[in-house]
Amino acid sequence: MPLRPGRATLSKPFSIPGGLGRFVDIAIIDGYTDEPAALGVPPYIAPLPRYLAGAAWTAGCEGVLYSTIDEVRRMSRKGTPRKGPRPRGKDRDRDLLAMPDGDRYDLQVLLGGAVVPGNYLRGRPASVRELSEIARSFTGQTLLVGPVARWGWTSGEKMTKAHHEAFDHVATRDGDAYLHDLLRGEEEPLQRFRTREEWASWSVEGAGIVSSSRDMPHPLIVEVETYRGCIRHAFGGCSFCTTVRDIAPVFREPSEIADEIGAMDRLGVVSYRLGGQSCIYSYKALGVGEVESPVPDPRALRSLLEGIRRAAPSLEVLHVDNANPAVIADHPGEAEMVTQLIIEHCTGGNLVALGLESADPAVHRANNLNATREQCMEAIRAINRWGRYGTDTGLPALLPGINFLGGLPGETPGTFELNMGFLKQVLDEGLLLRRINIRQVAPVCGQMEVKHDQRAFRKFKLRVRTEIDLPNLQALLPYAAPIRRVWTELHDGNTTFGRQIG
């Protein structure tokens, strides 16, 4: 259990509700998060577990354990003492999940929320059943945080009243702020967002828990936020999206981000992704909140990226994540400068994920999507113009990725034909894609009707894998072209799956 460096004991004892009257130890169990703008499934670690640790240490907590749902599953199989109700029915013979050595902790913080679940090789997000089962088997207080607490949804499953009742506290806004106030002695903390000062402080204070990751230093990728929220907040945002709902964008200062990364560099972290935001090109962009497609600010990006490079001399991987194609297409001059800065300061094999979601204009209109197919095509051309050239990683410097979403309102069988037509145009123009991500929408936001045409969706996926992915990959990586620094993740018979870290 890592103790906060330099503060193994406190000057005065304090208590959490219930009046323990002594130092407090907490356990954070990471059930992994996957949101439209942020990923925390291994080998990634999301910002929230680190902020939770920072909030706890800042509140005076003595010891903070960081563990993951996979570790709890593994330890439970090895014979963790059983507490709480036994599973019933067809589940009665399976192991009951419980945290190993749970009695050593006063408070258990459970974190989860795969609101846009994908396929993962290295970890499986916790289900609501698992999270509530672990909470029930724990004798101390429990706090549920993360997207599962906010939206009552994870891994395609909705939380029921019975699931909710397993937890003493459910933080529906920032779990780190709730935890901090709880540890400070408030019996019923307010549901609130962290302040800017808390954000700057907790991100640095909590960096130490990365040392507990089994993936440290390779293949761990630390997800770092440059801002929260979406630049389309004032304009409603995409119908399915959780990122845009709660709060207008709040930008972090380059120095705050550099401080956080500097703290992790000193601990031995070598790989980072600037994720957690809806569009890296819109970092501190001009006109946010006034226009739907703000003007990128290359000076802000330069300050951000140069600061990170100075703060992290051991850095091996620096990648970015999402971008709004409309911003790149509407402001070609500024966007081009940002593209060049990303190529100059980040490492090879980098990817800008473009959320087209659907190439069908009717679906675009029905869901207030962020970019038209024309804007997305223009963004793909713009990124290819500068980013398609090779690097020492064996992959191009920077390529676009495309996200599609099945099941959106307005979708018809013709939608999939339009999506295929879009991808064929990409191939015909000789443009490269780093990857094509195809998922199905989940009705997390509650106000949308989701109908999945599973047959048409599966057929579309298969056609993309055979008719688009294959020729794209052949152009990207001709047979026997070397890719360097590949981390092998899974053996399946004679096939081994690996990924280049990033």
Q: Which residues bind ligand SF4 (CB under 6 A)?
A: 36-37, 230, 232, 237-238, 241, 243-244, 278, 324, 355, 370
Q: Beta strands 141-145 and 169-170: pairing type?
A: parallel
Q: Give me the DSSP letters along 313-368.
A: TT--EEEE-EE-HHHHHH-HHHHHHHHHHHHHHS-SSEEEEEEEE---HHHHHHHT
Query: Is 357 within 8 Å of 409 (Cβ atoms)?
Result: no
Query: Is 28 within 8 Å of 67 (Cβ atoms)?
Result: yes
Nearer to ligand SF4 by Cβ, of 3 and 234: the residue is 234
**Nearest-approach distance from CB 279 to ligand SF4, in angstroms:** 7
**Nearest-approach distance from CB 337 to ligand SF4, in angstroms:** 22
Nearest-angstrom CA–CA distance, 158 and 174: 20
**Nearest-approach distance from CB 369 to ligand SF4, in angstroms:** 7
3-state secondary structure 57-115: HHCCCCEEEEEEHHHHHHHHHCCCCCCCCCCCHHHCCCCCCCCCCHHHCCEEEEEEEEC
Nearer to ligand SF4 by Cβ, of 8 and 248: the residue is 248
Nearer to ligand SF4 by Cβ, of 136 and 228: the residue is 228
Q: What residue ranges in 188-321 does DSSP mark as E strands?
A: 221-225, 227-228, 250-251, 271-275, 317-320
Instruction: Using CA atoms of 64, 66, 69, 71 in order, give the dihedral in degrees to the nearest 10.
Output: -110
Nearest-angstrom CA–CA distance, 314 and 413: 50
Nearer to ligand SF4 by Cβ, of 36 and 140: the residue is 36
Nearer to ligand SF4 by Cβ, of 136 and 232: the residue is 232
**Nearest-approach distance from CB 241 to ligand SF4, in angstroms:** 3
Residue closest to 27 by CA, chosen among 143, 125, 113, 132: 143
**Nearest-approach distance from CB 351 to ligand SF4, in angstroms:** 16
Cβ atoms within 10 Å, residue 199: 23
Nearer to ligand SF4 by Cβ, of 254 and 355: the residue is 355
**Nearest-approach distance from CB 242 to ligand SF4, in angstroms:** 8
**Nearest-approach distance from CB 235 to ligand SF4, in angstroms:** 9
Q: Which two tokens stand for residue 119?
A: 């396929």
Nearer to ligand SF4 by Cβ, of 25 and 321: the residue is 321
**Nearest-approach distance from CB 460 to ligand SF4, in angstroms:** 20
Nearer to ligand SF4 by Cβ, of 244 and 433: the residue is 244
Residue type, 89: G
Find where tokens 């294959």 sit. Answer: 470
Q: How large is the greatest C-alpha to C-alpha distance in the chain, in angstroms?
A: 70
